[in-house]
Structure 1
Amino acid sequence: MKSQSPDPGPFGVMVHKEIADHIRSWRFSILIALIVLTFIAAMYVSLANIKSAIGNTKDPDHLFLYLKLLTTTDNSIPPFHVFLSFLAPLLGISLGFDAVNSEQNSGTLTRLMAQPIYRDNLLLAKFVSALVIVSGLFFALALLMIGGGLVLTGVRMEPQELLRILGFIVITIAYVAFWLSLSIMLSILFKQAATSALTAIGIWLFFTIFYQIVINLIVKSFLPDPAYLSQAEIIRYNDLILNLQRIAPNQLYSDAVTTLLMPSVRSLGPVTMEQMAGAIPAPLPFKESVMIVWPQVSGLMASTVGCFAFAYYFFMRREIRS
């Protein structure tokens, strides 16, 4: 007697359906191709310069070959993690900007709500399905990088390198999840998919390009010229600018992945000479690096949960009619 497969339930069916829709869409294929080509270009430049990076004994991180593959560059193109700070938001926005309004405009949302399923299951299925695809993509790229490095160099990977690369992937997924939840919320607020897409891209451009300019202008207009400040006042001045810049999600992501991929980074803010006295220029253990970036990681996760909570609130209060 054959054993029947368990019923996945309405939530599982919707997740499978959303994953299939994303995989078949042209926009997802184009973004995947763009990210893969960027990865290949960054790996090519890293491998071309890996000998000089490893041979530089003045660099405390010169022994971490696989981390150098993600951070080494000859300044012709940025390293892969810098590319991701620009491309990952576009991936999240493309997967969520029409999650709800396109279905309502086409009439499928009314038919879905007529079935015995909950609204929160529908919203969660759209979020989870996109995260499953994103997770699969970045884990596949990480395995490709590790396998290629092992074949081309023959160097064994250290456990700390594996942990740091896995941490880098998890933070990147959390970064994409923030933009995904934001775009899903905008797809609920606006009736047209084009409006929600343009709004999400506008927010991304503001935080990526204009936010730092605005912060610097505001701080310089209220605070005195740093040339007339003491060392302690300059440190407080820089701390204020850094803390304001860390409201931007791309700054949180850059701080977190830079610390994980470069074990010699000991602080994300200005350090006095007294604090540097006696410090040994050696890589930090993985646990210590995680402790440094934990505020950034928790900030990204809190922002993601907040955007998804707002999306859930607006969707539960939305009137759906044919």
Structure 2
Amino acid sequence: MKIKNTDKLRYAFRAIVFKEMGDHFRNKRMLILFGIILLTCIGSLYTAMSGLKNATPAEETESSFFFLKLFTLSDGTLPAYFVFISFLGPLLGIGLGFDTINSEQNKGTLSRMLAQPIPRDYVLNAKFTAALLVIAILFFSLSFLVIGAGLIALSIPPTAEEFMRIMCFTFVSVIYVALWLNLSVYFSVCFRQPTTAALAGIAVWLFFTVFAPLLINLILKTLEPSPYAPPYSQYAFQQFQFAIIQLIPNELYSQATSTLLMPTIRNLGPLTIEQIQGAIPGPLPLGQSILIVWPQLTGMIAVTMACFILSYLRFMRKEIRSR
């Protein structure tokens, strides 16, 4: 009997996931967001190819990583692909999650769903899983689109390391958007009106994108040591500056993706002269690049899990009544 009940719950979970994924792909709001991200991907890909055509012969070495440059290179007319994702990714996550719970509650379908023999947490988990799968399908499709365009334009296949770096970059992008998705789901649980939840999510996004860097710059200017200060105090200030910047999710994503897509980046924080001496310039293997960005990746995953836990606890204690 327990096996049959477990099978029924799994079937109900899959049914909710597929239903939510279908709603996302048929939603006009989501189609507009998907179209904007696709257009920006095509535009950044065009500028990257233009930049590759204008590259000097000295830059075209064996370690140039041409396929990675399709994600990072720009001719100056448009930003690179990963810069667009850091800007538009939060909007995609907010758009997928701001009406996850409150729209069902306003329609009266949430109380009917919970009246069925389905655990309450299955509903929230299924909705989050569906949105996460939509994000993963979109970003992996865009990455393969860029790889396919690169195959046609360059007439050479990517190396194994290039392919793995692109997949790691795509995985980090999914985690970054999932962070904003969980935040918007939390606002959807807290606020009854979807517009309020959407405005709250956009307000947080604007704060970290526009106002947080300004506040950090003001704090750093007041604490900046004198040019004649001892070297150890200047090094401590550089460490503090690097640590306080880690509070911005956009900066965590930019540091992680730039390190994965640019193998020549060997360090993200400040270094002393003793640490620089003896270092041999050159591209790092993928494993070493992952070790460099592991703190940033762990921070994004931790914030994502914290937002999901807050949404889960709030939803499990929420009183739901039919209108």
Alignment of 1:160-239 (within 5 A): 160-221=161-222, 223-239=223-239
How far did 1:224 drift? 4.5
How many residues were matched structurally?
A: 315
How far did 1:46 drift? 0.7
Is the contact made by 1:11 and 1:121 (CA closer than 8 Å) also made in structure 2? yes
2:91 matched to which residue of 1? Answer: 90
SS of residue matched to 1:228: coil
Is the contact made by 1:101 and 1:190 (CA closer than 8 Å) also made in structure 2? yes
How far did 1:280 drift? 1.4
> How far, CA to CA, are the matches of 1:213 and 1:226 in structure 2?
21
1:17 matched to which residue of 2? Answer: 19
How far did 1:81 drift? 0.2
Amino acid at match of 1:217: L
> How far, CA to CA, are the matches of 1:255 and 1:226 in structure 2?
28
How far did 1:60 drift? 7.9
More divergent stretch after superposition (227-236 vs 152-161):
227-236
2:255 matched to which residue of 1? Answer: 255
Structure 2 length-normalised TM: 0.94
Structure 1's 128 and 53: CA in aligned 2 closer, same or farther, altered over 3 A? farther
> How far, CA to CA, are the matches of 2:29 and 2:56 in structure 1?
39
More divergent stretch after superposition (283-292 vs 212-221):
212-221
> How far, CA to CA, are the matches of 2:56 and 2:42 in structure 1?
20
Amino acid at match of 1:14: I
2:276 matched to which residue of 1? Answer: 276
How far did 1:18 drift? 0.3
Q: Which runs of 5+ in 2 are unaligned?
A: 1-6
Is the contact made by 2:225 and 2:237 (CA closer than 8 Å) also made in structure 1? no
1:39 matched to which residue of 2? Answer: 41
Amino acid at match of 1:266: R
1:77 matched to which residue of 2? Answer: 78
Is the contact made by 2:20 and 2:127 (CA closer than 8 Å) also made in structure 1? yes
More divergent stretch after superposition (269-278 vs 109-118):
269-278
Q: CA-to-partner distance for each residue in 1:30-83, whole Å, 9 max, x for gaps? A: 0100000000000101111113447343x8885201001111112221100011
Structure 1's 259 and 170: CA in aligned 2 closer, same or farther, altered over 3 A? same
Is the contact made by 2:63 and 2:283 (CA closer than 8 Å) also made in structure 1? no
How far did 1:187 drift? 0.5
C-alpha RMSD of matched pairs (Å):
1.6
How much identity, in percent, do the aligned residues show?
45
SS of residue matched to 2:227: helix
Q: Which runs of 5+ in 1 are unaligned?
A: 1-5
Is the contact made by 1:55 and 1:62 (CA closer than 8 Å) also made in structure 2? no
2:302 matched to which residue of 1? Answer: 302
1:3 matched to which residue of 2? Answer: none
Structure 1 length-normalised TM: 0.94
1:285 matched to which residue of 2? Answer: 285
Q: CA-to-partner distance for each residue in 1:69-113, whole Å, 9 max, x for gaps? A: 111112221100011100000000000001011111111111111
> How far, CA to CA, are the matches of 2:119 and 2:34 in structure 1?
31
Structure 1's 225 and 61: CA in aligned 2 closer, same or farther, altered over 3 A? farther
Structure 1's 226 and 26: CA in aligned 2 closer, same or farther, altered over 3 A? farther
> How far, CA to CA, are the matches of 1:272 and 1:55 in structure 2?
34
Is the contact made by 1:216 and 1:241 (CA closer than 8 Å) also made in structure 2? no
> How far, CA to CA, are the matches of 1:263 and 1:60 in structure 2?
14
SS of residue matched to 1:49: helix
